[in-house]
Chain A
Amino acid sequence: MRFAPDAVVIQGAIIEGDVTIGSGTVVHQFATIRAAKGCSIVIGKFNIVEEFVVIENNGPEGSTLEIGNDNTFQARCHISARQIGNNNIFGSFSVIAEGTTVTDMCHICPYGQYRIQFEPMAPRTVIYNGRMDRRTTSEAPLPNQTLCAALSSQLKSFNKLLKPVDPPAAT
């Protein structure tokens, strides 16, 4: 488990396994970032992981779930994808199933689901109304840097930070 010195992980978040969190990322309480045995999760810079989000990697041993920069995971989404790009917004209660690949600048509206396995999601898609797909050429989601800075200063003043636990030595 490695957290960048800028990263803000609030106590109450559940982090298990080999997880690397990049600088500027904010992880709220009750978020679950779970890597199974042998798997790892790498989270990039300036992401926002809200409450009750589940990011898990149950995949085959040796696989890495790479999450890019500037993503927003809104409350209660459930993500078990293989790879996630930059600048995405995952709405509340959304479900990204196992084996999927999400690219850049997508927006998944609340209660959206994405289960298509062998083809990566096209960039700039919007999934709304449950399961329907659509591609837009609209504005890209704005970078998260200022929002992350504001959130981290607010959260730090009222909460304790979680310290990374070294993985148990292999016997």
Chain B
Amino acid sequence: MAALLQTNRVKYECSCGLPFPLDELYFCRQCVKLKCVECTQQFVDNIICQGCFETATAGENRERVGRCPSCYMCPICSTVLMSRSINNKFRLQCTYCRFNTLDAGIEDQVDNDKWKFPSSPNAEFFQNIRSKMLEYAEFDKFEHERNPDKRRRSTLFLSDKYGLNSLYNQRKKSGYADRPEPMKVEYTKMDNVEELSLDEIMAPVENPLDIHNFSEQLQSLSSTKDRWLPEALPVLPRRTVRCGESENSLVKAEYNPLSITFRMRYLAFTYVPDIRMYRPPVITILTQSYVLIYVSNYSNGHVTARVTAVDVDDDSFVSSALNKEVVVPLPPPNTIQDIEDQLQLEGNIPSQVDISKPFYENIIFKRRHQAALTIPVHAKKIVDRNFLKLRMEVEYDNLAPAIPDKSMSRTSIDRNYSSSFLSRSSSMADTTIPPTPTPSDTTLNTSGSADKPKISLSHPITIVIDIGRTIDDNLYDCDMDGKVPSLPTRIPAEDVFA
């Protein structure tokens, strides 16, 4: 869904300076910073196959070279192959690109479990090298055990009362083996080596149809020269994530490798408001256009976001006319109340928007935890990709999202959706959590009145949005083939999913 909604267009700057979309960021509560893949440590927790959900230990995985023994991967598009039965026989098929085992020149099998593909001609060579290296490794280990650290003095005194001490020493040495022989490499030394002649190399090709490049191979898949065989599916690791600075765990899953719940999961979207662009606008140099942005709060408490646009000298950054800060107060989400509003008010929910202020200094849409802003924008040059830079300061009115109570075993999203669906009457009481200051918020800036301390993130978050290309005012927008498109007679895919 992220690829369809293009959430990768809005990138937040992590505390290490790299841009990432919000769903790829974590939040460390001790450092009070956003953390990304680069500034966290990742440890492999479990190993799981995405096709058959089979788990393996690290040792088993090492023997299988990181592949599943029973699942296969399409060589063209790298998706999992599904087996399909046709006329009582089985065939592996790709659901994305329609690749078959028939294309690879392999007939339908009667038994689904025993798929054997002809291995590459060099597979035996690599297998020999691998077994030889294992022999060397064993020998080195034995050598190391045989010559231990001579500084160690054992206090154990074995008296040679029954004459068994010498036998005991002999038995220890019996596993002694010679150093393994190196592999035989067949090289013959030739006395007369002919000079390299360019005529052989530069001779014209007899049959150009013999040489197939990548796209030509795709066209004639079952010819015996270019066989694209299915590969064994590589196996995926499941990771625990730790902050790089303070060694706190950010994401830790349950012990059972097949469970989808987490012991702890501190993701950025439960702490920082989510900014999403609604449909890329038409940007020109001469006329002003508006970028429509949704700001949503998915945390457990009330959040005030202050959004301003930042001017950048670069030509690919867009200049915006938004001089002031837009203050967006966002309460936490409450789906039960939303559904009840829809049922009782029958869709006539009153608008929570102040119309008196000008269009772009204000929020043009607001519904509980979501608000929409428009930002007036001018392009500077005709570029393929324009960028808009925003700065957002976040203030928490409740302390719950910033540093939740340790007794809360579920994350904020679980509390809203799962528990509240079970107990409708107590849902209202659950979502408003009374503020309880905890002693560990010395790293946050506190400001505001003495009654209700407002916590804000110490640094504002920089957000860069990829808006799209500038459209030349003089020309119409052309299709990739160079034709001006006629009026569309069908609904484009983007409008359907809006």
Contacts and interface: CB of A to CB of B under 8 A. Distances in A.
Contacts of B97: 109, 126, 128-129, 134
A93 B491 CA distance: 10
A82 interface: no
A102 to B, nearest CB: 16
B103 A137 contact: yes
A139 B102 contact: yes
A56 interface: yes
B98 A137 contact: no
A139 B102 CA distance: 8
Nearest to A117: B481
Given A54-B490, A126-B97, A134 B218 contact: yes
A138 interface: yes
Nearest to A128: B97
B421 interface: no
B98 A109 contact: yes
Contacts of A109: 96-98
A88 B259 CA distance: 42
Nearest to B481: A115
B352 interface: no
A111 B4 CA distance: 13
A135 B182 CA distance: 48
Interface string B78-114: 0000000010000000001111101100000000000
A159 interface: no
Interface in A12-57: 52, 54, 56
* Interface size grouping (class) on chain A: 20 to 34
A89 to B, nearest CB: 9
Give the dominant DSSP class at B's interface. loop
Provide the main secondary structure of the chain A interface. Answer: loop
Contact of B86 (A107, A111, A139): A139
B222 interface: yes
A126 B98 contact: yes
Contacts of A93: 493
Nearest to B219: A135
A56 B103 contact: no
B220 interface: yes
Nearest to A34: B489
A53 to B, nearest CB: 9
Residue with the greatest number of chain B CB neighbours at <10 A, chosen from A56, A126, A138:
A138
A78 B490 contact: yes
A25 B493 CA distance: 27
Interface of A: 52, 54, 56, 76, 78, 93, 107, 109, 111, 115, 126, 128-129, 133-139
